[in-house]
Amino acid sequence: MILPLPSMSACCAASILFQLLLTCILPFAQAEPIRPNPVVELAARQTIIPGGRPCGQNNATNRRCWKNSWSVDTDYDLTNPPAFNTRNIDLHITNVSNWLGPDGVRKPAMLINGQFPGPTLEADWGDYMQVNVYNDMQDNGTSIHWHGIRQFGESNQDGVNGITECPIPPGSMKSYTFHVTQYGTSWYHSHYSNQYGNGVVGPLIVRGPASANYDIDLGPYMMTDYYWQTADRLTLKAELVSNGAPPDSDNVLFRGKNVHPTNRTQGGSYDRLTLTPGKKHLLRLINASVDNSLTITLVGHNFTVIATDLVPVKPIVKSSLFMAVGQRYDVIIDANQAVANYWLNATLEAANNCGRSRNLFPAAIISYSGASTTALPTNKGNPITATCAGETGFVPIVTRTIPASQFPPVSNTSNTLPVSLAFPTPDPSRGAIFEWRVRNTPINVEWDHPVLEYILQGNTSFPGSINLVDLPAPPNNANSTWTFWIIQNQFVLPHPVHLHGHDFLILGIGSGTFNPSTMTNQLNFNNPTRRDVVQMPGSGWVVIAYKMDNPGVWLMHCHIGWHAAGGLGVQFLERKSEIKGLMKLDQMVPNCNAWRAYAPTSPYLPKKDSGLKRRMGMGEMGMDLEGESPVRRLA
C-alpha cells in the first residue's frame, strides 16, 4: 500500500524525495553485480561505453538494431552492451553404459543433463555467463570449451585441458565465468580426448542484431555425425595405418534425431522442423561432427546467409552450404513455397576426403504449418556433387583492413606452419600409426601441468612436445598489431582449422605451395572473410591474420577428431607479460591439485593421447625441429 505524504512545502517534499533516492534507490542501482563462484573470478578488463545513435528496439522489421543503442554496425571488439544479465547454468556430465540412441541402437554414451545433444545455452550480447560443470562420471576427466567465444582477457576460461586448465576429475565441479562479447551461433564441447564424440556437446547461442530482417528465430540446428562405438575405441582404430581410412560414421543426426541408416523399422525418427507460411525464419546451422563435413540443401528453397561462425556478414543467397567440422551459418529461410513437407539434405563428398557415412542419404524434414505431420516429402530434390571446398564470397559487416605492407617480407619464414603426416611405430605390437604434425611436431600437451600454470609459476621452460609458439610482445603493447600465418598443407586431405581466442582474416586460399615472393598479389587485405574455422584444402595453403589483442594461450588445431588425436595442433602464447595481471591464475591450482591426486588412481591413465584428442604418446621433448628449438620464440 502507498501512503500519501503529509502536507508540506515544495522545498521540504523535494528534500524528502532526495533522501529517499539516496537511501533506497541508489544502493540498488549501485549494487555489486552478481559475484561468480569463488573458484573462478572474472577480472575487470573492460569499460562499457554507450552505443551509437538510438535506432530502436530489435524486432521483425528492425533486426539491425539492438537495445536501441547498439547495432550490427557496432564494432564488438571495441564496445558491447552492458551485462544486463548473468546467466547461471548447471551442466552435469554423466556416463551411461546401455543408452538407447536416437536411431534405435543401444550404445555407451556420455550425456549432459541426461540428454544428447546437451541443453542449449542462451545469452544476450554483452551478458556474463557462469556455467558450473559437474563431472558426475566415474573414470573420466572432462573440460568444456566454448567454441568461438573470444574470451577477451579470460584465457583461463577457454576450457582446454593441458593448455588453460587441468581436467576436472570425477566427483568435482568447475565454474566457468566469462563475458560474451560477440553474438550469433556457436556450440560447446568437451576438449578432453575425443569425449565430445561420445555426446558431451551442445549448442550455444548469443542473441543480438542481424544484417537482415526475419520474423521467427527457430533456434540452433545442430548436425552431427554419429557412431555406435565409443569415440575412444574408434580413435584407436583410426590411428592405425593398417586399418586404412578412418571409420565411417554410422549415421548423421539432425538435432539429435534420425532413423536407423539401413533399417527404418529398428527405430528412430526424422527430425521435423516447422515453418510458418509467408514468414522469414532464422535458422542457426551448426556442424558439430567429429569427422564428417556436410553440404546442406533444402529442396525448393535457398539460404540467405547473414553470419559466418560469429561474424555478421552482408546477406548473400546460397542454394547449398558446405559446412566443415566446427563451422556455423546463420541463415534466413523464406517460407514462400506451397504448404508441404520438404527434405533438408546433407550430402557428403563421394571420395571420402572429408568424411563418409553408412547413411547414404542423411536427411531431415522441414514442414510448413498446415502440412501433414506424418507424411514424408515426395520431392527428393536434384542430386548435387558435394566437394570438400569451403564456401566463399562473404563480406563482414564490421570491416577489417590491413595495409599490405605489413605482410612479412619474403625472407621471414618463421610465420609458416607446415602440416605433414608421418607414420611412426611407437608401439611395435600395434604397428605404424598416423601422426599429424605442425612444424614437424605432433602436439602432446600436459594435462597435469597446463601452460597457464607455467605462466603462474613464472616458468618459461616449456617442453617442445606442447608445440608452443611464443609470440613477441606487440610494439608499445599496441592492440593494432597483426600476426600473419601461412599454413601449408603437405598432404592430400583437407583440414578444418580452428583458432581459439580470435576471429581471423582469411587472406587467401589456394592449391600447391604458397610462395610469398610471387603470390602475395593473390591475397585480399581489404575486409576479407573472417571466421574461426577455415577449410584448408588438401595439398594447398591458407593464409590468415589476426590482431594480437587478446593476452593468453590459444590453441589452433584441426577440428577432425582423428587428426587432432594424431597431433595436428599448435598453440600461441600471446602477450605473455600481461596474462598474470588480467587473470586470477591461482584459482586453477585447487582443480589441478585435485586432478594430480586423482590421476594415479585412474584405470585409464597415464594418457596415450595428444591431450586434446587421443593419440599414442611421444617422448617428453617431442620431435626434433630440424635444428630449431622445440619451443619457437619469434623475434
533-555 pLDDT tens trace: 999 999 999 999 999 999 999 99
What region does 415 belong to: left with phi over 0, alpha with psi -120 to 50, or beta? alpha
Interstrand relation of 482-489 and 311-318 (parallel, antiparallel or unpaired): unpaired
Q: Is the pTM of this model over 0.85?
A: yes
The C-alpha cell that represents 125 in the structure block: 550480447
E-strand spans in 429-503?
435-438, 468-470, 482-489, 495-499
Q: Give the single-character DSSP code of 519.
A: H
What is the rounded distance in angstroms from the CA atom of residue 631 to the CA atom of residue 622? 10
Q: What band does 599 get if pLDDT is binned at 50, 70 and 90? A: very high
Residue 312: beta bridge partners?
A: 307
> What is the reported pLDDT for 475?
87
> What is the reported pLDDT for 97?
94
What average pLDDT does the segment 99-120 reach?
Answer: 97
- Compare 20 and 146 and report the one with higher pLDDT: 146
> What is the reported pLDDT for 157?
98
How confident is the model over 333-387, as pLDDT tens digits?
A: 999 999 999 999 999 999 999 999 999 999 999 999 999 999 999 999 999 999 9
Percent of the chain with pLDDT over 90: 82
- C-alpha distances (whole Å) from 185 to each of 81, 215, 218, 309 are 18, 17, 12, 7
What is the rounded distance in angstroms from the CA atom of residue 518 to the CA atom of residue 37? 54
How confident is the model over 273-310, as pLDDT tens digits?
A: 999 999 999 999 999 999 999 999 999 999 999 999 99
Q: What band does 605 get if pLDDT is binned at 50, 70 and 90? A: confident
Q: What band does 608 get if pLDDT is binned at 50, 70 and 90? A: low
Q: In what order do the strands lie in the sheet with 530-531?
A: 435-438, 416-422, 482-489, 540-547, 504-511, 530-531
- Compare 412 and 573 and report the one with higher pLDDT: 573
Residue 213 has pLDDT above 70, yes or no: yes
HSE-CB at 618 with a 13 A cutoff on CA atoms is 31
> What is the reported pLDDT for 477?
77
Q: What band does 142 get if pLDDT is binned at 50, 70 and 90? A: very high
Residue 4 has pLDDT above 80, yes or no: no
Please state, as a whole number, how many other Cβ atoms lie within 10 Å of the Cβ of residue 95: 20
> What is the reported pLDDT for 410?
74
Residue 18 has pLDDT above 80, yes or no: no
Percent of the chain with pLDDT over 70: 87
Query: Average model confidence (pLDDT) for the chain?
Result: 89
Residue 47 has pLDDT above 70, yes or no: no
> What is the reported pLDDT for 413?
74
Place of cell 587467401: 508
What average pLDDT does the segment 499-515 reach?
Answer: 97
- Looking at residue 486, its amino acid is I
Radius of gyration of the chain from Cα atoms?
A: 25
E-strand spans in 387-532?
416-422, 435-438, 468-470, 482-489, 495-499, 504-511, 530-531
Residue 418: beta bridge partners?
A: 488
How confident is the model over 163-185, as pLDDT tens digits?
A: 999 999 999 999 999 999 999 99
Place of cell 582477457: 153
- C-alpha distances (whole Å) from 512 to each of 515, 536, 540, 635 are 9, 12, 5, 28
Place of cell 623475434: 635
What is the rounded distance in angstroms from the CA atom of residue 289 to the CA atom of residue 512? 28
Describe the chain by its helix, strand, coil percentages, rounded to 5.
15, 35, 50
How confident is the model over 488-500, as pLDDT tens digits?
A: 999 999 999 999 9
